[in-house]
Amino acid sequence: MTQTARPHVDAGVDTDGYPVPWALEPEHHDWQRAMRDFCADVVAGEAAERSIEGRFDPELVRAVGKLGAFGLLAPERVGGGGADLRTLCLAAEELATVDSSLAVTVHVQAISVALLVHLAADREDLLRELVPSASRGETFISFGLTEPSGGSDAGNITTSARRTGDGWVINGAKQFITNSGTPFSRYVLLFAATGEGRKGRPAVSAFLVPLDAPGVTVGPPYAKLGWRASDTHPLYFDDVHVSGDALLGTEGRAYREALQFLTWARIPIAAMSVGVARGCLTDTMRFVKDRQSFGAPLGGYQAVAFQTADIAAMAGMARVMTYDAAWKYDRGLPIEHEAAVAKLMASEAANKAAYTATQLQGGYGFIQETAATRHYQDARILTIGEGTSEVQRLLIARGLGLSV
């Protein structure tokens, strides 16, 4: 076909993604439909404005909270959703098709609630007190691991907790902490060095620290490239006294325990990457069907159609890897390799999809109102947060037996 011929554009393309029926039960499909309707009815409308203005919307949090999305992984016994990882992934994916900021807001809270339940398994009273309101999004528990000195080597913690007569005194700083400065933010699940561990590395413990404790300062929000309508701050701890029962889990073992437990947490980020790639596909299809160039719709030119096909293929590949990993996790199968591979491949695919989607829209792909532009901005963090692509490669390589 020459560029001057009038090409045919087929409007009947399914941009919903690559189905994975083997990985999903009927209740997953019901949840997926509910999330999809919620996104269309409640989330999508002002997603562009929120992102452009960098506006965190408490009303949206309340609306998601009514769906119980924040505590999906916590057991029903203590007021959580009692759902599996695939359910959280479906929420993350659907939200990210229109609003990655809301997706990460849910993701971080879901992780923190699940980790709280894991570390405080012997503290039924604490869980019954916190989990119900945390699941509704009325009480945010942020996740305080990354420090100004670096997040990839996250165990090399310099924030310290020193024993006093009746508790602990905490000093140090945390960086890039999501959900730490919202009207719902009450606690940070903080990792701090409580002594020396093996090979000169710190022994790390976890603490539930109230954000209104004297000596805690929530720094100003970061001006971010993407996830602009999510809430991210530095936290500073200056002689913060907490009681003895702020310690969660075993003293000096929290980092290893959390790291092992949270292997699955890379998979919802992969799911968000699927959502971003799908969002890119939807917006690309809208544009290439409408946009006329040289007297014909863009989507009829083979060069454009092939790039659009690549976005669909990348979204499908990411989807299969993501739900394979989540499906295995829900069956109690090992997922160390799968979680790293899914996170690596899906997040890199989302970035390629977003690059292509913005390129295909020309100047509109540089304008913030355009959904593809928002996905481009939001995709960038996906290869960085929850372990960078390099860290995923380290994990995969080590799993292969290479001593990196």
Ligand X SMILES: Cc1cc2nc3c(=O)[nH]c(=O)nc-3n(C[C@H](O)[C@H](O)[C@H](O)COP(=O)(O)OP(=O)(O)OC[C@H]3O[C@@H](n4cnc5c(N)ncnc54)[C@H](O)[C@@H]3O)c2cc1C
Q: Which residues bind ligand X (CB under 6 A)?
A: 108, 142-146, 150-152, 176-178, 224, 227, 232, 381, 384-385, 388, 390-391
Shortest distance (Å) from residue 375 CB to ligand X: 16
Shortest distance (Å) from residue 367 CB to ligand X: 23
Q: How far is CA 365 from CA 236, 278, 287, 357, 359, in A?
A: 38, 16, 10, 7, 6
Contact criterion met (CB below 8 Å) for 311 and 249: no
Shortest distance (Å) from residue 310 CB to ligand X: 25
Shortest distance (Å) from residue 381 CB to ligand X: 5
Residues annotated as catalytic are 386
Phi-psi domain of 137 (left: phi exceeds 0; alpha: psi -120 through 50; beta: other): left
Question: How many angstroms separate the CA atoms of 355 and 175, rounded?
Answer: 28
Shortest distance (Å) from residue 390 CB to ligand X: 3
Chain centroid offset of residue 299 CA: 32
Contact criterion met (CB below 8 Å) for 106 and 69: yes
Shortest distance (Å) from residue 168 CB to ligand X: 19
Question: Which residue in the shown chain puts its C-beta closest to ligand X?
Answer: 151
Shortest distance (Å) from residue 352 CB to ligand X: 18
In 3-state terms, what secondary structure has residue 85? helix
7: tokens are 């090409």
Q: How far is CA 196 from CA 158, 205, 209, 243, 281, in A?
A: 11, 11, 22, 22, 50
Amino acid at the residue 169: V
Indicate the residue among 177 and 281 with the shorter CB distance to ligand X: 177
Indicate the residue among 102 and 177 with the shorter CB distance to ligand X: 177
Indicate the residue among 104 and 281 with the shorter CB distance to ligand X: 104
Indicate the residue among 108 and 325 with the shorter CB distance to ligand X: 108
Indicate the residue among 209 and 320 with the shorter CB distance to ligand X: 209
Indicate the residue among 282 and 392 with the shorter CB distance to ligand X: 392
Indicate the residue among 266 and 319 with the shorter CB distance to ligand X: 266
Contact criterion met (CB below 8 Å) for 18 and 315: yes
Contact criterion met (CB below 8 Å) for 152 and 197: no
Return all residues near 43 (Cβ < 8 A) that are at least 6 apart. Answer: 60, 95, 98, 99, 102
Return all residues near 134 (Cβ < 8 A) that are at least 6 apart. Answer: 70, 71, 74, 109, 112, 113, 116, 140, 141
Shortest distance (Å) from residue 259 CB to ligand X: 12
Contact criterion met (CB below 8 Å) for 161 and 173: no
Indicate the residue among 228 and 319 with the shorter CB distance to ligand X: 228
Q: What are phi and psi of 302, to 5 degrees?
A: -60, -40
Return all residues near 299 (Cβ < 8 A) that are at least 6 apart. Answer: 7, 9, 285, 288, 289, 305, 308
224: tokens are 């971010």
| Residue 402 neighbours by CB distance under 10 Å | 9
